[in-house]
Amino acid sequence: MDTEDNNFRDRIGTMNAEGKRAWVYPKKPDGRFYKYRTWLTWFLLIFLIASPFIHINGNQFMLFNILGREFHIFGQPFWPQDFYLGVTAMIIAVLFITLFTSAFGRIFCGWICPQTIFMEMVFRKIEYWIEGDRGAQMRLDKEEWTSDKIKKKGFKWFLFFLISFGIANVFLAYLVGSKRLLQYVTEGPLENLSTFIALLIFTGVFYFIFSWFREQVCTIACPYGRLQSVLLDKKSVVVAYDHKRGERSLGRSKFKKNEDRQELGKGDCIDCSQCVQVCPTGIDIRNGTQLECINCTACIDACDIIMEKVDLPKGLIGFYSEENIEKEEKVRFNSRMKGFAAILFVLVGILSGMLFIRTDVEATVLRLPGQLYETQENNIISNVYTFKLINKTTGSFEDVHFKLLSHKGSIESVTHERIIVPEKGLAEGTLFIEIPKALLKDEKNSVEIGIYSGEKLIETTSTNFMGPRSFR
Ligand code: SF4
Ligand code: SF4
């Protein structure tokens, strides 16, 4: 192979020999997978944009208010007290991504990642609409600054800015809540200058990424992309070029009508370079699996169209593992994938179980540190406690009181006559638990307490009750 063909070993596709940026002009994709991606994009974009503006029972559908320590996921409020759920979800997500990637490669990047969705399915489409396809874009960039070029570039950058501003607003709605965002909009930027400046900074970052930095997010900046080399192996199913079929003994060569390439030993690749031209990260998939490949499948579509035109079977580029290509076998749901699927199923089951048993109210009743029990009249033993009730819902709990569930005895709140736990708020105070000495079995007794709002049991909790060492 000549040195030019081996350049991919020394530098990424978006860099020239001098180490400068080589601008990528991907050809407009078309084909089966592109259609699927377009449908998925519509769904994901609607979900992404609509989520902060939908409210369920007064809760925003998706909210990540880090400063206000308020999180809503699918309309369910989560609080810092639910941190353990977040950690569990994160561990499961990391495991999911790791297992999924080693089984199916970087498919998340090409199909679900917001960076690819906005870059390839929104900004790139605007570029095709205004500047035309690959060839027209290349010619336009080489042209002098004529009025036509100024008009086209100016209009494109203006639209890019508007969309970046829109994305920044949606982003803000996720962070501070859509109601607060609408309030900022009604009050005007001068009333909320610091927020407006932050919004403009985010707009600038999005504009920079989508108008200039582009595919470099995936090829240089993204840590997930860097992980590919340790996550993929010979069994991983990724977008791959079937080099056995594409090259055969004589390698790839241009198409000639009416020749039997297989009999001649020529590969099925007709070296048309359509798969390279269509690639948004500027790589040649025929050089093998590369870190820059985001599994967008544009090259599969491009090659399938060519194969159809030259009357050869489709699938020269497709979803294959290295082992599939070597053994010339089809992709199967193998035992490794089954094992991974089973692990993920169990993990998702654990998370669902944890979410299912999560309560709307969190109650803690703790013995006051340093306080001993007291013996009252009629051999009644009493202990003093602090309590904390956290209401995770958007409605308040009225007439809240405590009942002993495990023992005959009483609970008296010292600080409140009637406890009200406000929406998304908490109530704290002190209480006494009194139990007849005869009912205590040990020096340290576990007692169960029911927390009621009116007649309705809203939570149960347990605590320790101390008594004298010998009772009888
Ligand atoms: S599109 Fe297919 S035939 Fe054309 S160069 Fe790529 S692999 Fe070869
Ligand atoms: S090689 Fe193919 S799948 Fe990978 S990024 Fe390029 S076009 Fe997309």
* All residues at 6 or more sequence positions from 193 whose CB lies less than 8 Å from its CB, including other chains: none
Alpha helical stretches, state H, 318-418:
322-327, 335-357
pLDDT per residue as tens digits for the range 117-166: 999 999 999 999 999 999 999 999 999 999 999 999 999 999 999 999 99
Helix (H, G, I), strand (E, B) or coil at 267: coil
Q: What is the pLDDT of residue 2?
A: 47
Q: What is the pLDDT of residue 351?
A: 87
Amino acid (one-letter) located at 339:
G
Q: What is the pLDDT of residue 326?
A: 92
User: How far is the C-alpha of 135 from the C-alpha of 100, rounded, in Å?
Assistant: 37
Tell me, in angstroms, the distance from the centre of ligand 2 to residue 113's CA: 15
Ligand 2 pocket test, candidate residues 294, 300, 301, 317, most atoms within 8 A of CB: 294
The pTM for the full model equals 0.82
User: How far is the C-alpha of 40 from the C-alpha of 33, rounded, in Å?
Assistant: 10
Question: Which ligand is the nearest neighbour of the Cα of 281?
Answer: 2
Tell me, in angstroms, the distance from the centre of ligand 1 to residue 139's CA: 24
Ligand 1 pocket test, candidate residues 30, 245, 247, 272, most atoms within 8 A of CB: 272
Tell me, in angstroms, the distance from the centre of ligand 2 to residue 437's CA: 76
Residues whose beta carbon lies within 6 Å of some atom of ligand 2: 239, 278-281, 283, 285, 293-299
402 forms bridges with which residues in the sheet? 451
**Which residue in the block uniquely carries the two structure tokens 């309309």?**
75
Taking 70 as the pLDDT cut, the residues of the chain under it are 1-6, 470-472
Tell me, in angstroms, the distance from the centre of ligand 2 to residue 241's CA: 10
Which atom of ligand 2 is nearest the CA belonging to 295? 3
Q: What is the pLDDT of residue 357?
A: 81
Tell me, in angstroms, the distance from the centre of ligand 1 to residue 274's CA: 6
Q: What is the pLDDT of residue 1?
A: 44
Tell me, in angstroms, the distance from the centre of ligand 2 to residue 322's CA: 16
- Beta strand pairing call for 444-453 and 419-421: unpaired
Of 245, 243, 236, 244, nearest to 319 (Cα)?
Answer: 236
Tell me, in angstroms, the distance from the centre of ligand 1 to residue 430's CA: 76
Tell me, in angstroms, the distance from the centre of ligand 2 to residue 119's CA: 14
Q: What is the pLDDT of residue 252?
A: 94
Helix (H, G, I), strand (E, B) or coil at 101: helix
Q: What is the pLDDT of residue 317?
A: 97
User: How far is the C-alpha of 125 from the C-alpha of 282, rounded, in Å?
Assistant: 17
Helix (H, G, I), strand (E, B) or coil at 11: coil
> Between vectors from CA 38 to CA 36 and to CA 42, what angle results, nearest 5°?
120
Report the length, in residues, of the chain: 472
Atom 6 (ligand 1): residue with closest C-alpha?
275
Q: What is the pLDDT of residue 4?
A: 52
Tell me, in angstroms, the distance from the centre of ligand 2 to residue 276's CA: 8
Atom 8 (ligand 2): residue with closest C-alpha?
296
CB 408 within 8 A of CB 439: yes
Atom 4 (ligand 2): residue with closest C-alpha?
293
* Domains defined for the chain, CATH in brackets: 31-78+113-230 (no CATH), 234-327 (no CATH), 361-466 (2.60.40.10)
User: How far is the C-alpha of 297 from the C-alpha of 302, rounded, in Å?
Assistant: 9
Which atom of ligand 1 is nearest the CA belonging to 252? 8
CB 437 within 8 A of CB 471: yes
Residues whose beta carbon lies within 6 Å of some atom of ligand 1: 241, 246, 269-275, 286, 302-303, 306, 316-317
Which atom of ligand 1 is nearest the CA belonging to 273? 5
Question: Which ligand is the nearest neighbour of the Cα of 315?
Answer: 1
